Amino acid sequence: MKVRLQKKQWAFIGLVLLLVATGYMNYRFNALQGEGQPVAVQGEANATASPGTTPAATDNGTQTTNANVGLNYYTTFRTERSTTREKELSYLDGIIKDEKADAETIKKAQEQKLALVNTMETETTVEGLVKAKGFSECVVTIKDGSVNVVVENEKALTSAQAAQIMEIVRSETGEKSENIKIMPRN
């Protein structure tokens, strides 16, 4: 007896496999961070405590502090973000320079490129302003309708610190408080 699967069944199987792959990638990403749940401050200033600083093992068996791991996190994040943005800009440049592309496609690519450059500039500005408030490291990501801020801090964020960061992000991005997520990394 042969079992024949219909289109809907294949689509369902594909979605299940995609869900499993996404769960696995999420697990691996969180395992690479090597820390418990990050503290999230959403909306106004609500903070929860997170575990203290512990040593982290390196590939050669020695130990390093979370401060070194944290700084490596920021460097890696910025490098990956920069690489991704360079690819996006290169792709958009290719569309803009393509002689076969119609005028509307070129216009959309130019608008997307301008929006991406503006986003990059705003992220850099917010990062600099947050660092100016005394945080040793900070990364910011801006997407349509949301802003994520990860700051290096030895302890859980105080309400005053969260409010400072929130005000900077709101004034520079125009985003509402409920769309801003602040996560201290300690």
CA distance 73 to 19: 26
CA 59: distance to chain centroid?
Answer: 25
16-35: average pLDDT: 66
pLDDT class for 186, splitting at 50, 70, 90? Answer: confident
CA 31: distance to chain centroid?
Answer: 16
Instruction: Write down the CATH number for the domain with range 39-185.
Output: 1.10.287.4300
26-41: average pLDDT: 54
Which is nearest to 168 in space by CA: 149, 146, 145, 144?
149
Can you give the pLDDT at residue 35? 45
pLDDT surpasses 80 at 182: yes
DSSP state of 82: H
Whether the Cβ atoms of residue 49 and residue 36 lie closer than 8 Å to each other: no
Please state the domain extents for the chain. 1-33, 39-185
Summarize pLDDT for 60-73 with one digit per residue, the tens: 444 444 545 556 88
15-30: average pLDDT: 70
Which is nearest to 81 in space by CA: 91, 93, 73?
73
Can you give the pLDDT at residue 29? 65
* DSSP assignments along 124-157, one per residue: HHHHHHHHHTT-S-EEEEEETTEEEEEEE-SSPP
Given the structure tokens 């991406």, which residue do they identify? 116
- This prediction has a pTM of 0.61
Whether the Cβ atoms of residue 154 and residue 53 lie closer than 8 Å to each other: yes
Which of 4-8, 10-14, 43-47, 85-89 tops mean pLDDT?
A: 85-89
Summarize pLDDT for 113-156 with one digit per residue, the tens: 999 999 999 999 999 999 999 998 999 999 988 999 999 988 88
pLDDT surpasses 80 at 171: yes
